[in-house]
Structure 1
Amino acid sequence: MIFCPVLAFNLDRWLQLLLLILLLGSVYSEPRSRQNENHFDCGGDEYLSGDLCCKLCSAGEFVQQSCTVPHTQGKCEPCHPGMFTEAGNGLDSCRVCSSCDKNQEMVADCSATSDRKCQCRVGHFYADPQSPELCLPCSKCPQGIPVLQECSSRANTVCSSAGTNQRNRLFLLTVLSTLAVVAVFCYYLRR
């Protein structure tokens, strides 16, 4: 009979502990539900502004003023001339259009939705076709050496190796080593 009051006391303690756990569980889960109420889970067509998810502005626009109501669009403004945005965004300004350098010519002008496109001028080629930033003057084949491939914006002149003498080999070696130095220099500039 002594066993029953002890068991009853232990059950009472277990029930108190269980109630305490349930109470703590509801207290700790409350901030997470508040977070969901504040809409921190923005969709793919939204951006986070403070604690609100706002709809993106369209390409060619930027955010003049963010939304004040969750999941709505704030005030969007068109990009000013000389600036662009290529896709929907939550940017507070448009990007500045790039410019062509002196050895390049423009292929397509900058618009509100796309950057300016440039290519090497005639008589120049890209030192690194994967990174079209540096245009070098095209090489000329030494006198008496036939041209296998004319210079283009994507590749330098290719000369025939037939009849190449020591002077031509030295010239070719000089050009290749110069190009290698330029390529390494460009690589480190990009980093």
Structure 2
Amino acid sequence: MCIFYNLSKLLPLFYVSIVLCVAACNNAEYEVNGECCPMCDPGKRVYRHCDEYTSTTCDSCPVMTFTSAPNGFTECLHCSVCDPSNGLRVKHVCTLISDTVCEPLPGYYCIDLLSNCKKAMKHSSCSPGQYINQNGTEFRDTVCDDCPADSYSDGTFCKLHTNCESLGKLTIKEGTDTTDAECSNRARSYLLPLILCGVWSLLFAVIIVIIVKKREKSKIVD
């Protein structure tokens, strides 16, 4: 496309004109040195630009590079790398016409997602006294919540404190948000006094028998 500029009004003593030609390329062309050259197909790059005698010369992209659309690039784009140190693994391998697609490793979620996941972090673990409200996904971290009253957890799910009395036992230690209640057998709490009472009763009976026998023996001697 050529544009004509008449500068005679600015410079009346001289008739000056300038013609500027600007390339107006269509969607299938790219501009270089004022010329419109045909683009290369996806998966290829420009090896040699067109001229007045020849069309664009294209070449296939080297390994681990790509172009995903018609282009006028002289160099292909480098394939993305799914770095495990960033919590990533390959979901779809790179081809001549598409970039590598990364996804989070198992137990990780993406924290930098544009057209492709660039970095992922490990799912959070819930603390003791909490439970997992929502499991983490590849796009979201774990959601934790506190256990309700009268329950406890190790960070996974909540359990109700044991009701010792309903089991006929005694509570010797109250439950917390991280530990269960501790119970003692009610029968055992009374068993020791009963045993001691029985031992003392038996011992007392033995002593009485011994005393009685001694008295009877002393009477016989007399």
Task: Give the letter aligned to residue 61 of structure 1.
Answer: K
Of structures 1 and 2, the one scoring higher in RCO (CA 8 A, sep 6+) is 1
Q: 1:127: Cα distance to partner? A: 2.7
Which deviations, in whole Å up to 9, do the C-alpha atoms of 1:49-76 show, x marking residues without a partner? 2231101111111000011128x73101
Task: Give 5+ residue unaligned stretches, structure 1.
Answer: 1-16, 165-191
Query: Does the CA-based 8 Å contact 1:122-1:152 persist in structure 2?
Result: no
**Contact 1:57–1:73 (Cα < 8 Å) also in 2:** no
**CA drift at 1:140:** 1.1
AA partner of residue 42 (structure 1)? C
CA distance in 2, matches of 1:94, 1:133: 20
CA distance in 2, matches of 1:80, 1:132: 24
TM-superposed CA distance for 1:146, in Å, is 2.1
| Structure of greater Rg | 2
Q: Map 1:83-98 onto structure 2 (within 5 A).
A: 83-98=65-80
Name the counterpart of 1:121: 105
TM-score normalised by L of structure 2:
0.55
Aligned pairs for 1:30-69 (under 5 A) are: 31-32=19-20, 35=21, 40-69=23-52
The percentage of aligned residue pairs carrying the same residue is 27
Cα deviation, residue 128, structure 1 = 4.3
Change (3 A) 1:151 1:107: same
Select the structure that is richer in strand.
Answer: 2
Change (3 A) 1:129 1:161: farther
**RMSD of the alignment, in Å?**
2.8
8 A contact 1:125–1:135 mirrored in 2:
yes
Which residue matches 2:60?
A: 78
Q: Distance in 2 between matches of 1:79 and 1:129?
A: 26
Question: In the alignment, which residue of structure 1 is the partner of 2:138?
Answer: 153
**Could you list the runs of 5+ residues in structure 2 that have no partner in the other structure?**
1-7, 150-222
In the superposition, the TM-score normalised over structure 1's length comes to 0.63
- State how far apart, in whole Å, the 2-side matches of 1:42 and 1:95 are: 23
Instruction: Deviation per CA, 1:84-130: give whole Å up to 9, x if none.
Output: 00111111011111100111111100000110000110111123445
Q: Are the aligned partners of 1:63 and 1:92 in contact in 2 as well (CA < 8 Å)?
A: yes
Structure 1: how far apart are the matches of 2:79 and 2:117?
16
CA contact (8 A) 2:129 2:146 kept: no
Please give the per-residue CA displacement for 1:145-182, whole angstroms capped at 9, x wherever unaligned.
22111111111111123449xxxxxxxxxxxxxxxxxx
Question: 2:17 is matched with which residue?
Answer: 28
Structure with greater proportional helix content: 1
Structure 2 letter corresponding to 1:77 = D
